[in-house]
Amino acid sequence: MSTAPIWWVVARRDLTLSQRRRSDGLLPLGFFLAAAGLFPLGVGPEPQTLRDIGAGVVWVCALLASTLSVTQMFALDHQDGSLEQMVMAPGSLVALVLGKTLAHWLISGLPLVLLSPLMALFFGMTGASTLVLGLGLLVGTPTLSLLGGLGAALTLGLRSGAALLLVIVLPLTVPTLIFGASAVSAAQAGQSVQAHFSLLAALLLLSLAGLPWASAAALRLALD
Amino acid sequence: MLAGLTEPSAGQVLLNRVPWCELDSKRRKSLAYVGHQNALKDGLTLGEALSFLASLQGLDSPRDRARHALDRLSLGRHWRTPVRHLSQGMRRRGALARLALDDAPRVWLLDEPLDALDDASVAGFAELVDHKLGQGSAVLLTSHQSIPWTNCPQLHLGGEGRRP
Amino acid sequence: MRWTTFAATPRFYALTGYLIPGFWAVAALLGLAGLGLGLGLAPSDFQQGNVYRIIFIHVPAAWMSMVIYVAMAFWATVGWAAKVRVASMLARALAPTGTLFTVITLWTGSLWGKPTWGTWWVWDAKLTSYFVLLLLYIGYLALTSTIEERRRSDGAGAIVALVGVVNIPIIYFAAVWWNSLHQGPSVPLNAAPKIATSMLTAMLLMTFSFWSYAFAVVFTRTRALVLEEESHTEWVQSLRARRPSMNRH
């Protein structure tokens, strides 16, 4: 039996753990559903209004749901000494961070993507808009997980860590939010969404290239 | 500090004459640290937890090695037991089972390894350490309790960590 | 003398002590000149009348807020990577001034926007990304002040500042890349400026005035940080002994 790559080993471990602690995956989903569902109740059922705000609301709720769960990415491992071992391991810490981010996305991000058609229904979106919403979230949620991971690494172990994480991470997520939501608006107006998706993809690639490295550096700092 | 997690405020830590911060991956493989915490996740079974630590260490066939190591420390029957159902002593032994994962000579840094161990376990641990020393490993450990070895150098530290 | 000579805190402290009064003087002089030219002598704008004159504060403040952010990211990185303590302190001292300029820009922009565009605020590309700059500054300040341990604070600040630096070119080019309400850059990088010479001169004078002010304030703040963090060292103790007035703080 040869060694599996460490990023896959740690991702699989996190997925196993999450599976056994059901609440992990359900909490972001529940938040997403509840928060997005509140808007039609709050602003009234007027279809045009809902169609206008729908994309933005869904994206913001996805953003908040994803960031809610990211605080735990490193905190639990930090508490029982696992993080220490990971930082000391001979392998690449960047690979470990990527593995944990992948697990976070699979647990907290991908379900949001899968639930988005239901959200689209809440806001009366057309089929084309729904597709653009879903695909946009598919490309955008990994970026959110990567950014969240950086925030979690930077704020590890700090009091008021969750609030601080939001303050740091939310500005960085603004481009993704804007392009994702405006893609849906463009689709609703019948315009091309190519530019939006190119930009979303570019943001993802940029994040993949730089953020895991920054997160690993932040983890080393946190453990000092 | 010796494990490289904190930088010393004065002086240097060298491993085989190479400063720690310059250690590359290959050299880091030869250093292993079992801290005060066990690094065994509550939600995993003992087998899964130890296999993971074996993978982190870069070892091949992590599951087989973990099984063998647990057998060695008489924990084999707890392969499928969730870590949170184990007593403190068993968890400590599980963490120390890392010493039995492979035979490559390493420098082992152990922080309070005898914590929570009963006398029989301490004896078993002593035997394991002797075995590692025989393989060419070095073991550096801290302890509040008296250690059942007579033939090893002992350093007694004062309160602030300086030599008295 | 090597460029790293002033990385040593006592020398840095001494040098800035000499320079700061000079910076204040230059700031005051250039500021007076710039405002005099801009408010008094430059002609009225063809379209906007005299309201446009707020540009003499708005644009220099905007430029400074962006320059300071880049400088902050730069010094924070130098401080972290090369382990130069003074550089990290400089970065930490730059943040509040940068935030101030950002707030001034947003406020003057708003005051300008109401009479000219009819609105206090609009979410176009430039303003949105500029608002993000404010949030980035706040994030940096929040993070570095929450982390108590110096080394971690310096490193975390550097990481956050670096990741955010990507926003700066976006702000600058936002008005060009996306058609928006905000005008394109008045002083483009690769073409002749589009505004009258006297207006340009006034803007540049104000910019250098703000820059000089920033140096004065940031150095003062850095000196305070140096004294605070090295209060236990010999050179600070002897300084205190020589100058009892310092012990007021």
Query: In sequence order, what are the residues at sequence separation of 6 or more whose Cβ sits closer than 8 angstroms to the Cβ of residue C54?
Result: C108, C111, C112
Nearest to C135 among A158, A170, A222 (CB): A170
Q: By the 8 A CB rule, do A215 and A151 touch?
A: no
DSSP per-residue letters across B17-56:
TEEGGG--HHHHTTEEEE-SS----TTSBHHHHHHHHHHH
What does the pLDDT look like over A174-222, one tens digit per residue?
999 999 999 999 998 888 889 999 999 999 999 999 999 999 999 999 9
Task: Determine contact: C180 vs chain A, CB below 8 A.
Answer: no
**Which string of DSSP letters, residue by residue, matches chain C?**
--TTGGGSHHHHHHHHHHHHHHHHHHHHHHHHHHHIIIIIISPPBTTTBTGGGGHHHHHHHHHHHHHHHHHHHHHHHHHHHS--HHHHHHHHHHHHHHHHHHHHHHHHHHHHHHHHHS-S----HHHHHHHHHHHHHHHHHHHHHH--SHHHHHHHHHHHHHHHTTHHHHHHHHHHHS--SSPPPSS-SSS--SS-HHHHHHHHHHHHHHHHHHHHHHHHHHHHHHHHHTTTSHHHHHHHHH-GGGGG-
Q: Give the pLDDT band of residue C175 (cuts 50, 70, 90).
A: low
Q: How many CB atoms lie within 10 A of CB A34?
A: 11
pLDDT digits (tens, 9 = 90+) for C206-240: 999 999 999 999 999 999 999 888 888 888 888 88
Q: Which residues contact C32 (CB under 8 A, 6 or more apart)?
A: none
Question: CA A25: distance to chain centroid?
Answer: 12
**What pTM does this model have?**
0.87
Across chain A, which has 224 residues, the per-10-residue mean pLDDT values are 81 92 83 90 87 92 91 90 89 93 94 93 90 95 96 92 92 93 91 91 94 95 85
Chain C residues close to A170, C-beta within 8 Å: 135
Nearest CA to B4 out of A98, C149, A155, A89 is that of A89
What is the token pair recorded at C68?
Answer: 């300071």
Cα separation, C230 vs A165, whole angstroms: 30
At B122, the pLDDT band (50, 70, 90 cuts) reads confident
> Nearest Cα to C156, choosing from C249, C86, C79?
C79
- Residue B157 reports pLDDT greater than 70: no
The pLDDT score that the predictor gives to residue B155 is: 64
From the list B5, B55, B59, the residue facing A223 with the nearest CB is B5
Contact A223, A83 (CB under 8 A): yes
Domain ranges of chain A: 6-222
* A176 at C interface, C-beta within 8 A: no
DSSP label at B110? E
Measured between CA atoms, the residue of chain C closest to residue A151 is C160
Angle in degrees, 0-180, between the axes of helices A194-222 and A72-80, rounded to the nearest 10: 20
Please say if the pLDDT value at position B27 is more than 70: no
Residue A128 CA to residue A191 CA, distance in Å, equals 11
| Single-letter residue type at A179 | F
Per-residue pLDDT of C105-117, as tens digits, reads: 999 999 888 888 8
Q: What is the structure's pLDDT at B10?
A: 55
Domains: count for chain C: 1
Cβ pair C135:A210 closer than 8 A: no
Given the cut 0.90, state whether the ipTM is greater than it.
no
Confidence of residue B162 (pLDDT cuts 50, 70, 90): very low
Residues of chain A with C-beta less than 8 angstroms from the C-beta of C136: 171
Provide the token pair at C198: 């006297």
Is pLDDT at C77 greater than 60 in this prediction?
A: yes
Q: Has residue C165 been placed in a domain?
A: yes
> Nearest-CA distance from C135 to chain A in Å?
6
Out of B5, B40, B57, whose CB is closest to A89?
A: B57
Q: What's the confidence (pLDDT) of residue B159?
A: 47
What type of residue is C172?
Y
Domains parsed from chain B with CATH numbers: 14-142 (3.40.50.300)
Write out the residue range of the structural domain in which residue C212 sits.
Answer: 22-248
Tell whether the model's pLDDT for residue B163 goes beyond 50.
no
Q: What is the pLDDT of residue A106?
A: 94
| C187 pLDDT tier (thresholds 50, 70, 90) | low
d(CA A108, CA C191): 49
Mean local confidence (pLDDT), B13-41? 70
Which pLDDT belongs to residue A65?
92
Q: What is the pLDDT of residue B116?
A: 82
Report the range of poorest mean pLDDT among A155-164, A209-218, B28-37, B48-57: B28-37
Angstrom CA distances, A22 to A18, A27, B29, C87, stand at 6, 9, 35, 47
A178 in reach of chain C (CB within 8 A): yes
